Each structure stands twice: as structure tokens, then as C-alpha cells.
Amino acid sequence: MTDRIIADRLEALGIVLPSASEPAAKYANYVIVNGLCFVSGKGPAGHPKGKLGQEFNTEEGYHFARQTGIEILAVLESALGSLDKVKRVVKIQGFVNADPLFEEHHKVLNGCSDLMLEVFGDKGSHARSVLGAVSVRDNLPVIIDSIFEVD
């Protein structure tokens, strides 16, 4: 049964996907167009509040980005019915709520990137950008949006 490969990998990694979170405002959680699934910006579970370089350090930011990746996977599974329908992770874009002197945005976003590689293997390799933000919604430490090629 090929539609259990990613579910089995998640289980082996000890990852249990939560229910897909709802959008924070009036927009779609995801949109699928021409074989691409665009997942709207997601933040970490538990809605921690604060900035990297102030309330949180890089290691904590990495953990938040990984949690956010799990939120993204939950939305994808809800949208597709199975994560085995993901052909490739195309792009990850992160917005790090950071102190102006914070310089390790790339290390924070590695939390999500590493997760995608662990879950999807070679199909998890992706293009990426990360930006420091003076503020983000709900004062979350990180928000990540993403694009996936899907069946």
C-alpha cells in the first residue's frame, strides 16, 4: 500500500500530526492550482509569543520552526488525504519575528527545512527564503508559508 509511506515515516520519527489549524483571518488555509499546493502562513503550536534575540534564542527558534513545519504537514494531509500525494517540497518561506540585531534567521528556519528532508527524503529538498520581521501576527516567533508539488 503506497499511500502509507509517509505516514509510516512520521510514525518512525515519533511525529503525530495535529488536526489542521484554521486560518487566523479571512483567507484559505491552502489553495491548489496547476499541481501546486500553496499553504498559507502557519505558526508554531501553542502560539508562543516573542522575538528571537529577545525572549527566545536560536535553538528555541529552530524548535518553533520545526513545530510550524508539523502544522504545515497537518494542513497538507487535510488537503490531500495523504502526504504520499506530495511529489516535492518546492519552497519554504519564513518570517522570523526578531530583534533588529538578531542574525541567525537561517538557523531558525533550518527547523522546518530539516523536518521536510526527514519526512520526504530527497523530495524534501526545496528552495527557501527567510526574512526578519519587525512584527508578525499575534507576536509569534516565526511564520512559515510553503509551496508543494502534489498529485
What is the rounded CA–CA span in Å between residue 98 and residue 151?
A: 36
Classify domain 2-150 at the CATH superfamily level: RutC-like (3.30.1330.40)
pLDDT in tens, 21-78: 988 899 999 999 999 999 999 999 999 999 999 999 999 999 999 999 999 999 999 9
* Domain extent listing, the chain: 2-150
What is the rounded CA–CA span in Å between residue 46 and residue 115?
A: 19
pLDDT in tens, 106-146: 999 999 999 999 999 999 999 999 999 999 999 999 999 99
Q: What angle do CA 7, 11, 14 make, to 5 degrees?
A: 140
Residue 1 has pLDDT above 50, yes or no: no
